[in-house]
Structure 1
């Protein structure tokens, strides 16, 4: 394998010092014009490429951002990754991707490894199991910039990027009420996720404004698995006065719940209707998709997270603001319903 051309080799061939070559490549005016031209010409002939490792050593940077998320297979997180990679790549940063698989121990091990490897910044969406966050604070205390996105735990003072889920749940519930639905259930996520509490607050606020029933029997918490969602949806269907609409934590939960309804002989968007979160592209190909879904703008979330890290690592200490940035994007309720999809069209 052919060895890479180094500054020392260029210096040897031109019979000048390596430091002169280095300055000439940086177009330092202290080096004569003829020498600079000779160095650049030979470097081009030999296809010299600067060592990124050497650059990193001089700058104290690694050129790597780390991203830790629950599951890359989820469309939401894959779209976040797309946003992160595109902007990071354009600024010559590598993105190291890690999956916690929603396990606290695995997330803790990943962050511990990243602390030792001294990456330039970390973007993190916490695992479903995580209820203690000392491992996150340890990164921050070490001076590693941390941006929390989507799943943002409380009481952690660091940069944050997300979408306003309380507003999203509020608008979705208000929309269902405007369509004439009178018993709206909530299939919510686990208590540990702040996003679940945000959804709950928005849902309750809308019900109170619309003077609709607020009943504990209409609110179910799921662990986001198919089995638990199926069990909780069955409970909703067996209540004395079952709901006529369901607000689901996300499209995956909605699809699992809809399957239960079909097995019980209910017609989707006629006997019972659904609104959810995430706006998965695949629902566009379904005959009976949720009536609407809250778009959370994952691609933009990824870009904003990188923008924050770039603003930190590419600024001088004098330019840096010691405050933490908090960016909350506005959700968008995407209406999928077509004429005739729901018996409530005339309401």
Structure 2
């Protein structure tokens, strides 16, 4: 028995019509008469015919696949983001090819190169924490493959971006703490060269300055996001002659490590020192000491908007100014009290 899948040629042979007629009939082309269309479609159903998607994609010069590169899928923030991307992609009949950088720039480069070989139609990426050069992504764009950055975005304007305004959110968070009497506020920030870290630091400085207080940089520490690094940051803050009464953590994962260290040192968490954070992830509600307030960053919404933006850019390919226009969607973060 012949188990090969049926083809357009087989349908054309059985009905004694041309291959182009079958192709148009299967697409409900108005140039093909109704009776012929019905005959072709009926036989296609009987033969269990399925279109050759590879041939269709080759003809259209599209794969209907979007590459997505994230630091870690295990982090709830990014898993929520990719759920939003998938929802938006499926609504436009796209699928996702997913890769992780593990917050390593060289791995990020390799994953992007692999995406390029797979001929993805476009790429969405949240940058690795140490990424400073963007030639691997700019090279992808130079071949006609658009890139949309989300959450961790580059510092230059010539890029499609979706992100939350952490400068504004941090300034508001500092002001909220001062308004409740916490006037010695510390910040455990991320790596110094990360744009997201600079936004938080500048927002922190702005928030303190608005209250007519002098910024004490002894209250600013950094972490590379590892537990040991966050522990060292906490050790320095707790050893100050005048330790902080409130600590802002870079994200909820840094928060959990910071709180764990404080608790082990005998600090009455959220009494002696209150803790606030970013991301407002549901996982913190299952911990013994959740932050008393958090900045909601809408990961699902960011992912959904990033995918919608990329598909919009893809649909505008070929417009006269498509290569010179960049879209930026800045979400306003929300302060959530717990």
TM-score range, shorter chain: over 0.9
CA contact (8 A) 1:277 1:294 kept: yes
1:316-327 alignment, distance < 5 Å: 317-318=318-319, 321-322=322-323, 323-327=325-329
Q: Unpaired segments of 5 or more residues in structure 1?
A: 337-347
1:237-276 alignment, distance < 5 Å: 237-276=238-277
**Offset, 1:117:** 2.9
**Offset, 1:113:** 2.4
For residues 161-197 of structure 1, the C-alpha deviation after alignment (integer angstroms, 9 at most, x for no partner) is 1111111111111111111001000000001210000
**Offset, 1:112:** 2.0
Structure 2: distance between partners of 1:316 and 1:47: 35
The range that moved more, 24-33 or 182-191, is 24-33
Q: Which residue does 1:345 correspond to in 2?
A: none
CA contact (8 A) 2:259 2:289 kept: no
SS at match of 2:153: coil
Q: Which residue does 1:295 correspond to in 2?
A: 296
Q: Which residue does 1:68 correspond to in 2?
A: 69
Normalised TM-score (structure 2) = 0.96
**Offset, 1:110:** 1.5
Q: Which residue does 1:159 correspond to in 2?
A: 160
Structure 2: distance between partners of 1:233 and 1:88: 41
SS at match of 2:290: coil
Structure 2: distance between partners of 1:50 and 1:165: 47
Q: How many residues align?
A: 336
Determine if the alignment matches structure 1 residue 40 to structure 2 residue 34. no
Q: Which residue does 1:335 correspond to in 2?
A: 337
Q: Which residue does 1:51 correspond to in 2?
A: 52
Normalised TM-score (structure 1) = 0.93
1:150-189 alignment, distance < 5 Å: 150-155=151-156, 157-189=158-190
CA contact (8 A) 1:10 1:39 kept: yes
1:72-87 alignment, distance < 5 Å: 72-87=73-88
Structure 1: distance between partners of 2:292 and 2:314: 43
Superposed CA RMSD in Å reads 1.5
The range that moved more, 229-238 or 89-98, is 89-98
Structure 2: distance between partners of 1:245 and 1:110: 40
1:229-244 alignment, distance < 5 Å: 229-244=230-245
Structure 2: distance between partners of 1:27 and 1:221: 61
Structure 1: distance between partners of 2:334 and 2:3: 54
Structure 1: distance between partners of 2:154 and 2:32: 54
Q: Which residue does 1:117 correspond to in 2?
A: 118
**Offset, 1:53:** 1.0
SS at match of 1:274: strand
Q: Unpaired segments of 5 or more residues in structure 2?
A: none
**Offset, 1:310:** 1.3
**Offset, 1:4:** 2.0
